[in-house]
Amino acid sequence: MRLSKPTSLLVCLALLIAATPAITAQQPRADVDGRINALLAQMTLEEKLGQLQQLDGEANGNFRPEHRDLIRRGLLGSTLNVRGAQKVNELQRIAMEQSRLKIPVLFAFDVIHGYRTVFPVPLGEASSWDRAAVERAASVAAAETAAAGVRWTFAPMVDIARDARWGRIVEGAGEDPYLGSVMARARVRGFQGSDYSAPDRIVACAKHWVAYGAAEAGRDYNTTDISETSLREVYFPPFKAAIDAGVGTFMSAFNDLNGVPTSANPFTLTKVLRDEWKFDGIVVSDYESVRELINHRVVADEAGAAGAALTAGVDMEMVSRLYHKHGAQLLKEGKLTQATIDEAVRRILRTKFRLGLFEKPYADEARERASLLSREHLAAAREIAARSMVLLKNERAVLPLNKNLKSLAVVGPLADDPKAPLGSWTGDGRAQDTVTLLAGIKAKLSPQARVVHVKGVAIEGRGVTGNYDAAPINASNAGGTNVASAAATEATRLATTPVPEGGIAEAVSAARATDVTIIAVGETAEMSGEAASRASLDLPSKQLELIQAIHAIGKPYAVVLMNGRPLTINWAAENSPAILETWFAGTQAGHAIADVLFGDVNPGGKLPVTFPRHIGQVPIYYNQKSTGRPPTDQKYTSKYLDVPVTPLYPFGFGLSYTQFRLSDMQLSDKTIKPDGQLTASVEVANTGQRAGDEVVQLYIRDVASSVTRPVKELKGFERVTLSPGEKRRVRFTLTPEHLGFYNREMRFIVEPGAFKVFAGTNSVDGLEASFEVVEK
């Protein structure tokens, strides 16, 4: 049979693709581009625009009926939320067997901190200060996700966030660009491995590009106005770290930045990302952020939004359909070039080739069954959750608890809540798989122990509450605002006040009748995450009243926090004997929390974000500028009249069941050249009676520079495990990368001058040394 010319070309193309060796993320770019060029030469404009389209499936993971026809016609390049090997394979077979060019579909899903096995929320993972643990969590998530047929996750979120009102602070690594960069690299490596075409790996997505975490007033989707200096020194570094780790894709953000929406911003999307950083992967819009350019009022209509976003550098449009609807007309009118469309298609095809989708497009249903919630994955979730917990207070050695307790009360609205520990963005995680705190405690104790559970209070509505006069911790050092006496008065009042009726009264009765009480309080899962900004950081509803009522009894108790942001827990910090920050700890939350409460795990986590005393301090972060009038007890200095300027708990803070001491800080040199480096080292010793972990942290201060610099900057850390009496010397290398900054001309330089170096166990306390950078 004689073939027509178009048919002959298609047959040749199919033979070329079939005969070409599988392409991976590690193969030379020329090999990939040759196959892409062969496809581009055959694609119609409609098919090209189809590759730029991503549509969502249903919440339960099913695809929509229209997806079949769109894929068959080559008009759908990617889906989000469609998941499960069987569902994915059904659509993929249409693409590979019934579409003209046999281009596979790229299936995507928000796998933020686990797929079916849910790990701690990213803010919790960052609290581990453990690169390997964070990478391992992402690796497990990748294995389960890939097994379910999804090969693209919209993670990691690497936005720096310094305003706890912003609900999505839970999705990142906190306030510091260095810690954020370390965690970005770890999570990209975990998701992608060394080659994301491997069957247990997926391609990662650095989001949200960029400055989304700096939304004014902490209100999600709000505007941002940030200098280029701050962008390059605070908000860009975690994204650059993701690129250095090989991240395959980026996501543009919702916010406008300095007057230009980030989903149509040529400076960030092209000048920085493509020209400076040489990124050649996909940039996908956030959910309908292309259409939302109309709401930003930088374009008048849908066609204008499509043209602005695609020209600026957004390759794939999520959910809204403006590229496909208006692309041909924009091209005809000269408002969009063929080269722009082709380059966007090229980036999408490049990612599909690097994933190996052309050669291995289908998911393995047997692998899916074996992977999800496997024993190995659950063990990893439990271990990493325990490593993420931060001991904020432990007076009179209330913790760890004795496993031989005869009776224990577990109270609070979150004590037996299976949904809250999963947090927001739970992947395909399910509440029925969650080990609650109550279940974890029961599993830890003998069957003869009496465990009494009382909810006590409910977290109602959106959790609006107010207790703005609560006493802050260390109030006696409060620069003229001494509220310690007020706290004592409040404690006396509570001791003589009748116990509240209802649930709190029942909780008090349970506490009176048992040896120790655990109070589980915090936020519900819905109070954290996207579109979950809060104007108050207090414990919602009547949870503080519950704590105060238990406290008034005078018996031992510990507060367990479950939350996705720093909270203003001043009264508890001043009065409660023990506080354990557990964040939203995931599927194995109950077991992991119980492991820490009963001492099977010695807590070693540290805060990746500052806890304020009052909402009025926000945004608050350790690496602030000095100002011309640093805060003192003098009137005309930078402080507040009604609360201390210091935080409730500083960045990097966290206690242990043992004690550590740092000593003998040494620098390898007293002077170095601008292109030189030096080693800082310090000895850490476990002076207590238990084995435990300490996170040794290294900070620097540029004493005088041509532009103002932070009072301290984290430049290194190491989590070490020491037995009682054991010592170890921890070493850090400081290079020009750590010492430099962007000057007034936006050039990265290392200026001659004096530097101070601090080694500590948090961002406030520590040892100090100094050196000088001298001219060559």
Q: pLDDT (tens digit, 9 = 90+) per residue, 140-193? A: 999 999 999 999 999 999 999 999 999 999 999 999 999 999 999 999 999 999
- Please report the pLDDT score of residue 31 as a whole number: 83
Each residue's pLDDT tens digit, 741-773: 999 999 999 999 999 999 999 999 999 999 999
For the cut 90, the answer to whether the pLDDT of residue 614 exceeds it is: yes
Rounded CA-CA distance 652/174 in Å is 11
Rounded CA-CA distance 586/433 in Å is 10
Q: 128 forms bridges with which residues in the sheet? A: none
For residue 11, how many other CB atoms are within 10 A of its CB?
11
Rounded CA-CA distance 137/117 in Å is 10
- Please report the pLDDT score of residue 197 as a whole number: 98
Each residue's pLDDT tens digit, 701-727: 999 999 999 999 999 999 999 999 999
State how beta strands 516-522 and 407-411 pair: parallel
479 in Cβ contact with 631 (< 8 Å): yes
- Please report the pLDDT score of residue 484 as a whole number: 36
- Please report the pLDDT score of residue 460 as a whole number: 85
Q: Residue 251 belongs to what H/E stretch? A: strand 249-252
Q: Measured between alpha carbons, how far is residue 430 from residues 455, 587, 592 in Å? A: 22, 8, 18
- pTM of the shown model: 0.92
Q: How does DSSP classify residue 287? A: T
- Please report the pLDDT score of residue 462 as a whole number: 53
Each residue's pLDDT tens digit, 115-129: 999 999 999 999 999
For residue 5, how many other CB atoms are within 10 A of its CB?
7
For the cut 90, the answer to whether the pLDDT of residue 483 exceeds it is: no
53: nearest Cα among 269, 348, 259: 348
- Please report the pLDDT score of residue 3 as a whole number: 41
Encoded tokens for 510: 């349970």
Q: Locate tokens 């990209």: which residue?
A: 188
Rounded CA-CA distance 689/673 in Å is 44
Rounded CA-CA distance 596/516 in Å is 16
User: Higher model confidence: residue 20 or residue 178?
Assistant: 178
- Please report the pLDDT score of residue 548 as a whole number: 98
CA angle, residues 125, 131, 135, in degrees to nearest 5: 75
Q: 697 forms bridges with which residues in the sheet? A: 717, 760
Lowest mean pLDDT among 6-20, 62-76, 233-247, 661-675: 6-20
Each residue's pLDDT tens digit, 56-69: 999 899 999 999 99
523 in Cβ contact with 418 (< 8 Å): no
For the cut 60, the answer to whether the pLDDT of residue 480 exceeds it is: no
Strand order in the sheet with 678-686: 660-667, 678-686, 727-734
- Please report the pLDDT score of residue 25 as a whole number: 56
Active-site residue among 159, 163, 256, 286? 286
Q: Measured between alpha carbons, how far is residue 57 from residues 80, 83, 157, 516, 659 in Å? A: 6, 9, 22, 48, 52
- Please report the pLDDT score of residue 660 as a whole number: 98
Encoded tokens for 144: 């389960």
306 in Cβ contact with 290 (< 8 Å): yes
Encoded tokens for 690: 């238990």
For residues 7-11, average pLDDT: 42
Q: What percent of the chain has pLDDT over 90?
A: 90
553: nearest Cα among 518, 498, 511: 511
658-695 as b/e, with b when 16 or more CB fall inside 10 Å?
bebebeebebeeeebeeebebebbbbbbbebeeebbbb
Q: Is 286 a catalytic residue?
A: yes
Q: Can you say whether the dihedral through the CA atoms of 509, 510, 512, 513 is positive or negative?
A: positive
Strand order in the sheet with 767-773: 671-672, 767-773, 753-760, 692-702, 713-722
For the cut 90, the answer to whether the pLDDT of residue 440 exceeds it is: yes
Rounded CA-CA distance 177/169 in Å is 14
- Please report the pLDDT score of residue 2 as a whole number: 38
Query: Where residue 313 falls among pLDDT bands split at 50, 70, 90?
Result: very high
For the cut 80, the answer to whether the pLDDT of residue 500 exceeds it is: no
- Please report the pLDDT score of residue 627 as a whole number: 97
Q: Measured between alpha carbons, how far is residue 423 from residues 141, 320, 432 in Å? A: 16, 28, 14
For the cut 50, the answer to whether the pLDDT of residue 215 exceeds it is: yes
Rounded CA-CA distance 220/557 in Å is 36
Each residue's pLDDT tens digit, 385-416: 999 999 999 999 999 999 999 999 999 999 99
- Please report the pLDDT score of residue 4 as a whole number: 42
